[in-house]
Amino acid sequence: MSAAINRLGTKVYKIIAARVAKEFARLDCVRGVYLVRGLAKDDIVFGRSDIDLTILIDEFNDAFEERQLVYELSKIYRRLKKRIPVLGEIGVYNLPDLVRRYSYRNYRFISDGKLVPLCGVDIELPDFELTEDDILYEISMMLLFFLPMVFGSKNLKNSVNVLLEISMLCHYLTGKIDRLNLKKTEILELLLSWDPESEELRRIRWAFSTFFVGRSDDLRKWIYKQCLILGDRLGEIIPDKLEGEIGGSEIHSLFCPSFTRRKYLVLNSPTEDAMETGLERMRKEPGLVMMTANILKLYLYYCYPWEYYTIRNKNPSFGLSEPSPSYMERYFLMQINRQEIRFLSNQYLLLWDVRNLVAQARLYCDHNIICVDKSDLLQQYCSKYGIWPYTGSTSLDDYFLHDYPVLWKSTGELYRCKG
């Protein structure tokens, strides 16, 4: 029954997506609108999954012309979102931006479903070589960013998605599976075939059939623990990671680029008692994230090397080796894809302060400077470039009026500087 409802739901979602695409395509300079991720692969849970899209726009030589187009797209998105709550993440790219994104994040080319056109031109993209570095980036990102976020939101479906994707990537790296384009239910059935007695996996299967309705606190806790165990085991066998001793079980940090306060509860080993205690503390202490030492060493090496310096600044006994300069530069060039400045909603502007990111990327690429907090960033930027050029407003209207042209120019300069 649930499979039949999902098939019907997929058809309904695609009808909605096609109508949404037509709204965006009314604007000049929109070259096409495409399905990505779950709906592109017919891998959704009706009523729980989002409709994620990619919009392809023309290349612009003028920041103000592009700003006007993206601002209009933003107004359309905000109007549609009020009527269509399942309208999810929408990326806005020109063709070079899209190639740049997938050349750095080649796993995303697989997980996005290779862009199913709803309207406009077909996109011809080169083949992107899947690298171990990129898979480790994705695993680290999910463990230290998405896993704590979905645990705090009490969203079982999103917690299950994180578990299944981390499981697939870890088992791919260790050679247990040989492809990465599996649907979520296919990953789940593989896990059940390896552990048929798992009550929790059977409950997840049942959750798919009931569209994730009902209480799930204990199951979400189990998922968090399983993800930590998978990440920790992977960290043990990956040779390239930060070396040394962390220097404590509680590590203070500022999460970049927003410089949000964060505290890591670091486990040397993910034992049941230690994880249970850690999850109870996470429930009571906002900003606390439980992880293992092995995961932290992967995360700061492959995913967020900038945060290494905010941690070292706040923890004098922190003894891990520094990230390599090549990974630091890769991190900034990957993050400053111009798509990252094309916000269509306030939610992403608040979550991800791209103004700090672009300012820090410029300081690093021009002067090899890494800042450890917001005041340091402001001081260093003003000393090198004269003034801080951004408003810092959380209003999307102010963002497009004042900050967008500056970010457009800065990202373009970084593109040219680094080829």
Kindly report, residue by residue over 245-278, the tens digit of the pLDDT. 999 999 999 999 999 999 999 999 999 999 999 9
Contacts (Cβ under 8 Å, ≥6 apart) of 159: 147, 150, 151, 216, 219, 220, 223, 224
What's the pLDDT tens digit per position in 294-320?
999 999 999 999 999 999 999 999 999
What's the pLDDT tens digit per position in 126-167?
888 899 999 999 999 999 999 999 998 888 999 999 999 999
- Determine contact, residues 265/207, Cβ cutoff 8 Å: no
Better-scored residue on pLDDT, 7 or 140: 140
Comparing CA positions, the residue from 345, 340, 396 lying closest to residue 88 is 345
What's the pLDDT tens digit per position in 50-108?
999 999 999 999 999 999 999 999 999 999 999 999 999 999 999 999 999 999 899 99
Stretch (H or E) spanning 97: helix 95-104
> What fold does the segment set 2-120 form as a domain?
Beta Polymerase; domain 2 (3.30.460)
pLDDT above 70: residue 346: no
Query: pLDDT tier at 4 (50, 70, 90 boundaries)?
Result: confident
- Determine contact, residues 374/259, Cβ cutoff 8 Å: yes
Domain range summary for the chain, segments of one domain joined by +: 2-120, 132-322, 326-418
pLDDT above 70: residue 352: no
pLDDT at 2: 67
Q: Which residues pair with 90 in a beta bridge?
A: 53
pLDDT at 124: 85
Stretch (H or E) spanning 300: none
pLDDT at 216: 86
